[in-house]
Structure 1
Amino acid sequence: MKTKYIDLIEQTFDFPQKEFNLDENNKLQFHGIDLSKLIAQYGTPLKFTYLPKISENINNAKKWFANAMQKHNYEGNYNYCYCTKSSHFKHVLNEALQNDIHIETSSAFDIDIVENLKAQGKITDDTFVISNGFKRDQYVKNIGRLINNGHNNCIPIIDNYEEISLLSQEIKGNYNIGIRIASEEEPKFEFYTSRLGIGYKNIVPFYNREIKDNPKVTLKMLHFFINTGIRDTAYYWNELLKCMKVYVNLKKVCPSLNSLNIGGGFPIKNSLAFDYDYEYMIDEIILQIKQTCEEAEVPVPNIFTEFGSFTVGESGGAIYEVLYQKQQNDREKWNMINSSFITTMPDTWAINKRFIMLPITGWQKEYERVLLGGLTCDSDDYYNSEQHMNAIYLPRYSKEKPLYIGFFNTGAYQETIGGFGGLQHCLIPQPKHILINRDADGNIVTELFSQQQTSENLLSLLGYDYTINNKLDNANEEVNLETTIN
C-alpha cells in the first residue's frame, strides 16, 4: 500500500515538474535551488525572491505576442508594461526593466519611483509610463511634473470627467491621454459596473465634448480591464467584443487614437494541477481584435498589456517550520507554523487565495491530513485547504525531525497588502527576506535583503522608548553577574 507523501503527489499530479523536483536526498528543490541549504544558512521563517523568474515570464509573454502577431499579419506593435502595484521593490523593478518593458503606475508615489529609476538610467524618455487610477492633488501634480520635465511618453489614463481639466492646470504644454472603460462585472459581483473608468456608452460623447476640440490634449489610448482577468470564458470574450466596438467607433471620430490597452489579468500557477494555455489566449485576442478592425475598416491598434502578478508572482516564496502539532479532537490535527498567515500571506486570509504548498522535507514519510495554524491569537490565522483539494496533506509530524513547508508563487501583493517593515498583527515579526539570482555561470547566489524584525523596530513604530528596555536588560545582567559572584 502506497502511503508515503511522495506516493500521494505522484498519484495526484504529474511530478516532477519544471520548477519542482526532489534531489538525491528526497528534499524539495525549486528551480534547482537547494531549499534545505537556504534553511540551514538563513533559518526560518524565510521569504525569498527568485529574480530570474521575472525575466523569464516577461520574455515568454513578449514571444507569445510576437508569434501571434506574425501569424495573423498584425501590423500593430506590442508593449509589455509592468504593473508596479504588484511589487514596488527596487530589486523587482531592476530585474524587470532589463527586458525592454514599460511601466504602469497607480498613485502619486509611483511617479517618484519612476523619477528615481529615470535618474539611475533604468528608464528613459522612450519608456511609456501609463498612469492609471483615480487622480487627485499630488498624483496630478506628479504626473504634470514628469511630463513638464520632458517625459512625453507618460500617458495619463482618464478615470473620470474632471481629470482633463485638473491635468491641464499642471501640464504646461500639450500632452497625450488615454481613457479607461468602466467594464461591466460578472453577475457574481456585488456591483454591475467597475468604479474605475467611464461607461461604454459615454466615451464617444465625452470625447466629442471634452477632447475633440481641445488643442492641448491628444487621445492616444483606450484602456480595457476586467477584474476576473484574461480567461477563456464567454464573459471575457463578450466584454472584449464590447470594448472593440467602442474602439472602432472612437477611432472613426478620433484619428489620433492608435493604441488599445487590454490591461492585465494573466493567471499564475497556484496548483500543481494548473493548466492555462497562454499562447492560445493571446492568439485568440489578437485574432479577435484584427477581425473587428477589418470589419469596421479601421487600422489595428498597438497593443499594451499591464501584467503585475504574472510578472512577479511566480518569483516569490515563503518557508516555515512546523513547531508543534496539536490534536484538538479525534479528527483535527493542527500543525503550528513559526509565523503567521495573516501577516506574511494576507491574501490567504483576506480573499481566501491559495498558493502552491509543499513540504521541503519528509517526502518518504507517511502522510496525514492536517490544518495549518499561525502564531497570532486570531481565529482566522489558518490555512486549511489546497487549490486542488479540500484538505491539506503533509508528511507525518514528529518532534524528533523538523518539518519544513514552503509556499510558492507568493511574489505579488503580499508585502504591500500586509505591510513591509511596519506593525504586524500580534506583533509577530516580519520574516527575513533574501534575494536569489544566478551568476554568469548559472550558479545560485543569494543576498540578504532584510533581517527579521526586532522588538526595537516594533517598539519604535509604536512610540515607545526602547532604550528603557536596554537599560532594564543591562540592569538584569548586572544583577545576574552579582548573584553569580556571591
Structure 2
Amino acid sequence: MNTRYFDLIDQTFYFPQEEFTLNKDHLLWHNIDLMKLVEQYGTPLKFTYLPQISNNIRRAKDWFRAAREKYNYEGEYYYCYCTKSSHFEYVMNEAFKNNIHIETSSAFDINIVEKLLESGKINNKTFVVCNGFKRDQYITNIARLINNGHDNTIPVIDNYEEFDLLQDEIKGKFKVGIRIAAEEEPKFEFYTSRLGIGYRNIVPFYRKQIHDNPNVELKMLHFFINTGIRDTLYYWNELSKCLKVYISLKKECPSLDSLNIGGGFPIKNSLHFEYDYQYMVSEIINQIKIACDEADVEVPNIFTEFGSFTVGESAGAIYEVLYQKQQNDREKWNMIDSSFITTLPDTWAINKRFIMMAINRWNDQYERVLLGGLTCDSDDYYNSEQNLGAIYLPKYNKDKPLYIGFFNTGAYQESIGGYGGLHHCLIPQPKHVLIDRDENGFLATEVFSEEQNAEDVLNILGYGKGKK
C-alpha cells in the first residue's frame, strides 16, 4: 500500500507541475531548493521570487497580442499594474521593466508615482489611471501630477462631485474616464457596486458635464467586475451591457477611445487549478469587435488592471511545525511557528485558499491534520472546513522537523496584515527574503526585512526611550 506523502500527491494531482518539482524528498519551487532557504534564513519565512512578476506580465501581453492578431483588432493594448495588490518598491522595480502602466486607488499612490517618475522607472508616456473614491488629498495629488505636466494621467470619475473638485484644482485641459457601477452577482447582499456611475446615468452625465466643456476630454470608460474575469453568464452579460454604454457614448463623444476592463485574472490556488487564459482573452476581444463592428464604431484601445495576477504568484511563506496536539480521537493539531492571522490574513478574513505542501519529508508516511497558528484566537487556523478539503502532511515526529509552504501569497497579505506594525497577540512579522536571478541565471537572495523583535513592537506601543 502506498502511504508516503509523495504517493498521496502523485495520485491526487498532476505532479510535478511547471513550478513544483522534487529533489529527492525536498520540494523545489521554480527550481529553488526551499530547504536551502530554510537552512540559510530559518522560519517563519516569507519570500518573493521577482522573475515571476515579469513572467506573468509577458504571458498576458502575449495572450492579448495573439487575440488581436487573430481577429485583426485595430485597437492597442495597455497592461496596467494595480498597485493596491502590493505597493513595495521591489515589486514596482520588477514590474516596470516590462513597459507597462499603472493604476492607483488612493492619495499616497500618487506620491509613489512621483517617486517612480523621479527615478526614471516610468515616464510621461506611462498612463496613470486613477481609480477609487477620491477624498481631498487624492484630488490634490492627482491635480499636482497633471499640473506638473503628466498628460497621461486619467482620473476615472467615480461620482458626480469628483468632476467639479478636479476642475477646481487642475489648470488647463485634462483627460478623464468614467467608471460604470456594474451590477453585482445575484448572491451578493446588494445589487449594484458602490463604485462608479450607473449604466443609465453615464450618457446624461457626459452631455451635462463634459460635452460642452473645453477643458475636459473624455478618453476612457471603465468596467470593473468584482469577481474578476471568469467564463460565466454573469460576466458576459455585464460585458455586453458595458459595450452598449460604450457604443452609445462613442457615438456622441469622438474623443472616447479606450475601454478599461478592470477586474483581474484568477491565479493558481490549488494543484487542481485550470483556467484557459488565452480563450478568455480571445473571446473578450472577439465580443468587443463584434459589438463595435455591428454598431459601426471604432474599436477601443483595451486597458487591463492586473494586480493579483501580476504579483500573487511570485511569493510564498514557510513555517515549521513546532508541535502536535492530539485534542480527541480524530483531531490532530499541527501548531506552526507563526500566525495565519498575522502572515496570511486572507485565510482568516475571507477564507481564501492557497497552495499548501510539505517542504521536506516527502518519503515519509502521511496523516490527516489541522493547522493552527500561535495566537490565542480560535479563528487562527487553516483547515478543511475553510478550504474545501482535508489537509494531509507527513506524520509529525519531534525528532524530524517538518516544514510546510504556502504558495502564491504575493498579493494583499502584507498590506492587510499591517506590514511593519502591530499584529494579533504581538506575534512578530516574519523575515522576508527577495529572490532574483543574475544575467547567467544564478540565484541571488537578499534579506528585505528581518523578523520583528521586541524593541520594534514596544516602540510602536509607546514604550520606547523618552516615553513617559
Which TM-score tier does this pair reach, normalised by the shorter chain? over 0.9
Shift of residue 264, structure 1, vs aligned partner:
2.8
Look up the match of 1:26: 25
The reply on whether 1:462 has 2:461 as its aligned counterpart is: yes
Look up the match of 2:451: 452
Q: Supply the distance in 2 between the matched residues of 1:387 and 1:127 (Cα, whole angstroms).
A: 41
Number of equivalenced pairs: 467
> Deviation per CA, 1:45-92, whole angstroms, max 9, x where unpaired?
000000000000000000100000001000000000000000000000
The reply on whether 1:354 has 2:353 as its aligned counterpart is: yes
Look up the match of 2:281: 282
- Report the secondary structure of 2:224's partner residue: coil
1:328 maps to amino acid = Q
Look up the match of 1:210: 209
Shift of residue 26, structure 1, vs aligned partner:
1.5
Q: TM-score normalised to the size of structure 2?
A: 0.99
Q: Supply the distance in 2 between the matched residues of 1:206 and 1:80 (Cα, whole angstroms).
A: 28
Question: Runs of 5+ in structure 2 lacking a partner?
Answer: none
Shift of residue 99, structure 1, vs aligned partner:
0.1
Are the equivalent residues in 2 in contact too, given 1:13–1:272 (CA < 8 A)?
yes
> Deviation per CA, 1:375-401, whole angstroms, max 9, x where unpaired?
000000000039985210101010000
- Report the secondary structure of 1:92's partner residue: helix
Are the equivalent residues in 1 in contact too, given 2:143–2:166 (CA < 8 A)?
yes
Look up the match of 2:4: 4
Q: 1:386 to 1:451 in 2, by over 3 A?
A: farther
Are the equivalent residues in 2 in contact too, given 1:129–1:154 (CA < 8 A)?
yes
Q: Supply the distance in 2 between the matched residues of 1:328 and 1:302 (Cα, whole angstroms).
A: 59
Look up the match of 1:174: 173
Q: Supply the distance in 1 between the matched residues of 2:201 and 2:151 (Cα, whole angstroms).
A: 27
2:135 maps to amino acid = R
Shift of residue 164, structure 1, vs aligned partner:
1.0
Are the equivalent residues in 2 in contact too, given 1:386–1:392 (CA < 8 A)?
no
Q: TM-score normalised to the size of structure 1?
A: 0.95
Shift of residue 467, structure 1, vs aligned partner:
8.3
> Deviation per CA, 1:386-423, whole angstroms, max 9, x where unpaired?
99852101010100000000000000000000110000
Look up the match of 1:235: 234
Shift of residue 136, structure 1, vs aligned partner:
1.5
Are the equivalent residues in 1 in contact too, given 2:50–2:314 (CA < 8 A)?
yes
Percent of paired sites with the same residue: 73
- Report the secondary structure of 1:445's partner residue: strand
Look up the match of 1:48: 47
Look up the match of 1:271: 270
The reply on whether 1:70 has 2:54 as its aligned counterpart is: no
Shift of residue 362, structure 1, vs aligned partner:
1.2
2:226 maps to amino acid = N
The reply on whether 1:13 has 2:16 as its aligned counterpart is: no
- Report the secondary structure of 2:160's partner residue: coil
- Report the secondary structure of 2:229's partner residue: coil
Look up the match of 2:381: 382
> Deviation per CA, 1:310-367, whole angstroms, max 9, x where unpaired?
0000001000000000000000000000000001000000000000000001111111
**Highest CA radius of gyration, 1 or 2?**
1
1:418 maps to amino acid = G
1:83 maps to amino acid = C
1:15 maps to amino acid = F
- Report the secondary structure of 1:335's partner residue: strand
Q: Supply the distance in 2 between the matched residues of 1:104 and 1:268 (Cα, whole angstroms).
A: 19
Q: 1:283 to 1:395 in 2, by over 3 A?
A: same
Are the equivalent residues in 1 in contact too, given 2:351–2:387 (CA < 8 A)?
no
Q: 1:387 to 1:59 in 2, by over 3 A?
A: farther
Are the equivalent residues in 1 in contact too, given 2:183–2:193 (CA < 8 A)?
yes
Look up the match of 1:293: 292
Q: Supply the distance in 1 between the matched residues of 2:170 and 2:202 (Cα, whole angstroms).
A: 23
Are the equivalent residues in 2 in contact too, given 1:106–1:133 (CA < 8 A)?
yes
- Report the secondary structure of 1:96's partner residue: helix
Q: 1:210 to 1:113 in 2, by over 3 A?
A: same
Alignment of 1:419-430 (within 5 A): 419-430=418-429
Are the equivalent residues in 2 in contact too, given 1:354–1:386 (CA < 8 A)?
no
Are the equivalent residues in 2 in contact too, given 1:262–1:305 (CA < 8 A)?
yes
Q: 1:466 to 1:22 in 2, by over 3 A?
A: farther
Task: Single out whichever of 442-451 and 378-387 deviates more from structure 2.
Answer: 378-387
Q: Supply the distance in 1 between the matched residues of 2:135 and 2:407 (Cα, whole angstroms).
A: 37
- Report the secondary structure of 1:411's partner residue: coil
2:256 maps to amino acid = L
Q: Supply the distance in 1 between the matched residues of 2:388 and 2:4 (Cα, whole angstroms).
A: 18
Q: Supply the distance in 2 between the matched residues of 1:386 and 1:239 (Cα, whole angstroms).
A: 32
Look up the match of 2:125: 126
Shift of residue 39, structure 1, vs aligned partner:
0.3
Question: Runs of 5+ in structure 1 lacking a partner?
Answer: 469-486
The reply on whether 1:84 has 2:83 as its aligned counterpart is: yes
Q: Supply the distance in 2 between the matched residues of 1:34 and 1:5 (Cα, whole angstroms).
A: 18
Q: Supply the distance in 1 between the matched residues of 2:94 and 2:317 (Cα, whole angstroms).
A: 20
Q: Supply the distance in 2 between the matched residues of 1:350 and 1:462 (Cα, whole angstroms).
A: 24
Q: Supply the distance in 1 between the matched residues of 2:35 and 2:436 (Cα, whole angstroms).
A: 17
Look up the match of 1:105: 104
Look up the match of 1:435: 434
Q: Supply the distance in 2 between the matched residues of 1:338 and 1:466 (Cα, whole angstroms).
A: 30
Q: Supply the distance in 2 between the matched residues of 1:386 and 1:73 (Cα, whole angstroms).
A: 48
Q: Supply the distance in 1 between the matched residues of 2:301 and 2:384 (Cα, whole angstroms).
A: 42
Shift of residue 297, structure 1, vs aligned partner:
0.5
The reply on whether 1:115 has 2:114 as its aligned counterpart is: yes
Look up the match of 2:153: 154
Q: 1:174 to 1:127 in 2, by over 3 A?
A: same
Are the equivalent residues in 2 in contact too, given 1:271–1:388 (CA < 8 A)?
no
Are the equivalent residues in 1 in contact too, given 2:352–2:387 (CA < 8 A)?
no
> Deviation per CA, 1:240-285, whole angstroms, max 9, x where unpaired?
0000000000000111000000013200000000000000000000
Q: Supply the distance in 2 between the matched residues of 1:207 and 1:29 (Cα, whole angstroms).
A: 54
> Deviation per CA, 1:173-228, whole angstroms, max 9, x where unpaired?
10000000000000110000000000000000000011101111110000001111
Are the equivalent residues in 1 in contact too, given 2:226–2:263 (CA < 8 A)?
no
Look up the match of 1:475: none
Are the equivalent residues in 2 in contact too, given 1:273–1:388 (CA < 8 A)?
no
- Report the secondary structure of 2:428's partner residue: coil
Are the equivalent residues in 2 in contact too, given 1:125–1:152 (CA < 8 A)?
yes
Q: Supply the distance in 1 between the matched residues of 2:415 and 2:426 (Cα, whole angstroms).
A: 17
2:14 maps to amino acid = D
Alignment of 1:278-427 (within 5 A): 278-385=277-384, 389-427=388-426
Are the equivalent residues in 2 in contact too, given 1:384–1:391 (CA < 8 A)?
yes
